[in-house]
A and B are shown apart, each in its own frame.
Chain A
Amino acid sequence: EVQLVESGGGLVQPGGSLRLSCAGTGFSFSDHYIDWVRQAPGGGLEWVGRVKHRPTNYVTEYAASVRGRFTISRDDSKYSAYLQMYNLKTDDTAVYYCADIGAGYWGQGTAVTVSS
């Protein structure tokens, strides 16, 4: 069974940092891109960014709204991907999902609240 499990969410002050993790099991993790998608409270889905796989040299891509503040990485030896978030703003408050949107795999999400 494919599973993506996020962790690391929580409450952080504006301007702060947070690192989310995503552990993947039940599929060939290293062969897949990993996306991060977020959903603000009561809102829709917003693609945040992606880390591609080894054949691409782990290319990363980011939405304009987070570029320069968020960094995505992965460690295939740990079947894990990461979303490092810096200089967080209140607008970043959301549930963050890791996913492979091309394969249709989604995690259960982890909530991030940016508030003073």
Chain B
Amino acid sequence: DVVLTQSPLSLPVTLGQPASISCSSSQSLLHSDGNTHLSWLQQRPGQSPRRLIYRISNRDSGVPDRFSGSGSGSDFTLQITRVEAEDVGVYYCMQGTHWPPTFGPGTKLEIK
């Protein structure tokens, strides 16, 4: 199975400051269909996961533009330009290129 590694695992951030989470894959996530099926999910405390970003850099409907994704091959990044209180939670990267789908261990974002 493809292993996704995230760093950092814990991310204390001051309100209004930027934040960045890295996700590294044990294999390239470039699919034979030409797409890279790497997504980012947010899980707020007590809630179910919500997808923020799909195919590396595409924001889902309703996701604030302070969230952005980048990367290629096996290295990816989720960036938040200015962290807000509602961004507290755990962030997961997820790959759907190789079977079975796998998730990173999660990065817990908290406010300093």
Give chain A's interface residues, CB within 8 Å of chain B.
35, 37, 44-47, 61, 63, 97, 99, 101-102, 104, 106-109
Q: Which of A35, A99, A101 has the most CB of B within 10 A?
A: A101
Which residue in chain A gives the minimum CB-CB distance to B102?
A47
Query: What is the distance, in angstroms, from A39's C-beta to the closest C-beta of chain B?
Result: 8
Contact A106/B48 with A45-B92, A45-B94, A101-B94 known, Cβ cut-off 8 Å:
yes
Q: Which residues of A contact B49 (CB under 8 A)?
A: 37, 45, 97, 99, 106
Q: Which residues of A contact B39 (CB under 8 A)?
A: 101, 104
Which residue in chain B gives the minimum CB-CB distance to A102?
B96
Give the secondary structure class of B's interface: loop
Separation of A106 and B94 alpha carbons in the complex (Å): 14
A47–B100 CB distance below 8 A:
yes
Give chain B's interface residues, CB within 8 Å of chain A.
39, 41, 47-51, 54, 60, 92, 94, 96, 99-106
A-B contact pairs, 19 of them (CB 8 A): A37-B49, A44-B92, A44-B103, A44-B105, A45-B41, A47-B103, A61-B99, A61-B100, A97-B48, A97-B49, A101-B96, A102-B96, A104-B51, A104-B54, A106-B51, A107-B48, A108-B47, A108-B48, A109-B48
A45-B49, A63-B100 given; name 19 further pairs at CB < 8 Å: A37-B49, A44-B92, A44-B104, A44-B105, A45-B94, A46-B103, A47-B100, A47-B103, A97-B48, A99-B49, A101-B39, A101-B51, A104-B54, A104-B60, A106-B48, A106-B50, A106-B51, A107-B48, A108-B48
Query: What is the distance, in angstroms, from A55's C-beta to the closest C-beta of chain B?
Result: 17
Q: Which residues of B contact A97 (CB under 8 A)?
A: 48-49
Closest 9 pairs (CB-CB, A-B): A104-B51, A45-B103, A47-B101, A106-B48, A108-B48, A44-B106, A109-B48, A106-B49, A44-B105
